[in-house]
Amino acid sequence: MRISWGPQHPMSGQVRILIDTDGERVLNIIPDIGFTHRGIEKILENRNVVQGIVPIERMVMVDTANIALSYVRAAEEILGIEPPKRAQYIRVILCEVCRILSHLYGFGLAAEACGGYPAVFLWTTADREPFLDLMERITGTRWSYSFFVPGGVYADFPDKIKEKFLATLDYFEQRLEAYRRAWFENKIFEARAKNVGILKPEDALRLGAAGPNLRGSGVALDVRKDEPYEAYDEIDFKVVTRPEGDSYARLMIRYLEMVESVKILRQAIENMPSGPYRKFVSPLRRLPKGEAYTRVETARGEIGVHMISDGGTKPYRVKIVSPTLRNLYVVSQMPKISEVLLADVPVILYSFDPWYLDADR
Partner 1 sequence: MLDKNRTKRTTVWDVFNQVYKKIIGWGRKYSLWPAHFITGCCCPEFMQVAGPRYDMERFGILPLPSIRQADVLVIIGVLTRKMARRVKMLWEQMAEPKYAMAIGACPIDKGPFYDSYSVVRADEIIPVDVYVPGCPPRPEAMIQGFMILQRKVEEGV
Partner 2 sequence: MVEATESKILETIKSNFLQDIEEAEVLRPKRISITVKSEKIVDVARFLKEKLNFDYLLSVSAVDYIKENRFQIIYYVLSSKNKIVLLLRTNIPRDKPSVPSLISVWEAVDYHERETWEMFGIVFEGHPNLTRLLLPEDWEGGHPLRKDFKLSSSEGV
Q: Site residues (CB under 8 A) for partner 1? A: 6-10, 13-14, 34-40, 42-43, 46, 54-55, 58-62, 105, 122, 125-126, 128-129, 132, 142-144, 357
Q: Does position 300 bind partner 2 by CB under 8 A? A: no
Of 143 and 293, which CB lies nearer to partner 2 in the complex structure? 293
The three-class DSSP label of residue 18 is strand
Instruction: Give me the least distance between CB of 325 and partner 2, in Å please.
Output: 6
Of 42 and 206, which CB lies nearer to partner 1 in the complex structure? 42
What is d(CA 144, CA 61) in angstroms, rounded to the nearest whole number?
6
The three-class DSSP label of residue 32 is strand
List the single partner that 325 binds among partner 1, partner 2, none, CB under 5 to 8 Å by kind: partner 2
Kind plus residue range of the DSSP H or E element containing 17: strand 16-22
Q: At CB < 8 A and 24+ separation, what contacts does 71-75 make? A: 71/305, 71/307, 71/318, 72/148, 72/149, 72/150, 73/229, 73/292, 73/294, 73/296, 73/305, 74/292, 74/293, 74/294, 74/305, 74/306, 74/307, 74/318, 75/49, 75/150, 75/287, 75/292, 75/307
Q: Does position 287 bind partner 2 by CB under 8 A? A: no
Of 154 and 316, which CB lies nearer to partner 2 in the complex structure? 316
Which residue type occupies 301? Answer: G
What is d(CA 196, CA 114) in angstroms, rounded to the nearest whole number?
12
Piece of the chain touching partner 2 by CB under 8 A; list 1-9, 21-29, 83-91, 315-323: 315-323
223-242: contacts with partner 2 (CB under 8 A): 226-227
59-88: contacts with partner 2 (CB under 8 A): 77
What are the backbone angles phi and psi of residue 142, rounded to the nearest 5°?
-85, -40
Exposed, middle or buried: residue 327 (CB in 10 Å: 0-12, 13-18, 19+)? buried
In the list 18, 308, 337, 342, the residue contacting partner 2 (rule: CB under 8 A) is 308
List the single partner that 144 binds among partner 2, partner 1, none, CB under 5 to 8 Å by kind: partner 1
Q: Does position 56 bind partner 2 by CB under 8 A? A: no
List the single partner that 122 binds among partner 2, partner 1, none, CB under 5 to 8 Å by kind: partner 1
List the single partner that 215 binds among partner 1, partner 2, none, CB under 5 to 8 Å by kind: none
Piece of the chain touching partner 2 by CB under 8 A; list 123-131, 234-242, 276-284, 324-332: 324-332
Tell me, rounded to whole angstroms, the distance of Cα 192 from its chain centroid.
24
Instruction: Give me the least distance between CB of 225 and partner 1, in Å please.
Output: 28
Cβ atoms of 272 and 247 within 8 Å: the answer is no
Question: Other CB atoms closer than 10 Å to residue 41's CB: what's the count?
Answer: 14
CA 256 → CA 64, 82, 129, 326, distances in Å? 21, 32, 20, 23
Q: Does position 358 bind partner 2 by CB under 8 A? A: no
List the single partner that 162 binds among partner 1, partner 2, none, CB under 5 to 8 Å by kind: none
List the single partner that 208 binds among partner 2, partner 1, none, CB under 5 to 8 Å by kind: partner 2
What is d(CA 361, CA 354) in angstroms, rounded to the nearest whole number?
13
Of 19 and 53, which CB lies nearer to partner 1 in the complex structure? 53
The site for partner 2 (CB under 8 A) is made up of 33-34, 37, 39, 41-43, 46, 77, 205-208, 219, 221, 226-227, 291, 293, 295, 302, 304, 306, 308, 316-317, 319, 321-322, 325-326, 328-329, 360-361
